[in-house]
Amino acid sequence: MSTTGEQRQSPIQNDEEFRERLRELPPSAKLVAKVLEADEPLSQGQLAEESLLPDRTVRYALNRLDEADLVDSRYSFRDARKQVYFLDH
């Protein structure tokens, strides 16, 4: 029991909230999220390759996912010049 009065959400509630926020996004963002769900973390180039979307569309989708706090990124362990993306839920 938390002494700060915060209630922790169950993973199911977090997943439902994740899906609800995702539902409001464009199809390209949904596709990128689905690709990340199946195989993460991925670079922007890998996402473009896996989703068959143009780089520009993947960039737009990642921006929309980031604005909705559904995706996060970090620098790649293999190549520190690149960022890799993963779902944040």
Task: Give the Cβ contact number of residue 22 at 10 Å.
Answer: 18
Overall residue count recorded for the chain in this entry: 89
- pLDDT given at position 43: 94
Q: What is the pLDDT of residues 20-74, one digit of tens each?
A: 889 999 999 999 999 999 988 999 999 999 999 999 999 999 999 999 999 999 9
The residue extents of the domains of the chain are 11-18+25-87
Our measurement of the distance from residue 59's CA atom to the centroid of its chain's CA atoms, rounded to an integer in Å, reads 12
23 near 15, Cβ under 8 Å? no
CATH class assigned to 11-18+25-87: mainly alpha
Helix (H, G, I), strand (E, B) or coil at 54: coil
